């Protein structure tokens, strides 16, 4: 059983963003597996991979929100900054954590990664989809993100 599972309520119905969110969840699951293996090298690697993935995803998502002039962009950007700062903090704490502490830390990290998707990202889904369908220039590369949904 993976530590975190995908569920429909995490769907923004924007294919590229949903694909990136799924990859983020996989990274959290890899980190959880590393934490339960007790290997500090694996934990460090999995944590670094998760942080990289989240950073790249946030930059991409913010570009999408900029494109649509999303009213909540600044607030969303600030939330992303807070999450990245928190991830840095986790990363530092994992460096020196015992195996038991590492498992505990990862247990508290998973849920808030998912909460951001569920509460904040799902909220902008309709606005992004509407823009992509109705207002995006015909050749706009972001149109591809809508797919058929």
Q: Which residues bind Fe ion (CB under 5 A)?
A: 61, 121
Q: How far is the CB of 128 from Fe ion (least distance, A)?
A: 11
Q: How far apart are the first and last CA of the chain?
A: 29
11 or 121: whose CB is closer to Fe ion?
121
Q: Using CA atoms, how far apart are residues 144 and 132, in angstroms rounded to an integer?
A: 9
Report helix, strand or coil for 69.
coil
| Residue 26 parent element (H or E) | helix 15-37
Q: How far is the CB of 96 from Fe ion (least distance, A)?
A: 29
Structure tokens at 15: 């294919």
Q: How far is the CB of 91 from Fe ion (least distance, A)?
A: 19
Q: How far is the CB of 142 from Fe ion (least distance, A)?
A: 15
Q: Residue 138 carries which DSSP code?
A: T
Q: Which sign, positive or negative, has the C-alpha torsion 36, 121, 73, 79?
A: negative
58 or 102: whose CB is closer to Fe ion?
58
11 or 61: whose CB is closer to Fe ion?
61
43 or 145: whose CB is closer to Fe ion?
145
């Amino acid at each position: 059983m993976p530590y975190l599972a995908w569920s429909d309520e995490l769907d923004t119905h924007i294919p590229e963003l949903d694909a990136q969110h799924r990859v983020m969840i996989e990274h959290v699951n890899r980190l959880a597996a590393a934490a339960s293996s007790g290997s500090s090298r694996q934990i460090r690697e999995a944590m670094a991979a998760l942080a990289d993935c989240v950073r790249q995803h946030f930059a991409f998502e913010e570009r999408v929100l900029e494109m649509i002039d999303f009213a909540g962009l600044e607030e969303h950007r600030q939330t992303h900054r807070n999450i990245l700062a928190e991830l840095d903090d986790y990363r530092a704490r994992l460096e020196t954590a015992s195996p038991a502490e590492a498992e505990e830390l990862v247990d508290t990290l998973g849920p808030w990664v998912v909460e951001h998707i569920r509460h904040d990202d799902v909220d902008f889904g309709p606005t992004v989809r509407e823009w992509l369908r109705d207002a995006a220039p015909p050749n706009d590369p972001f149109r591809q993100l809508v797919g058929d949904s």
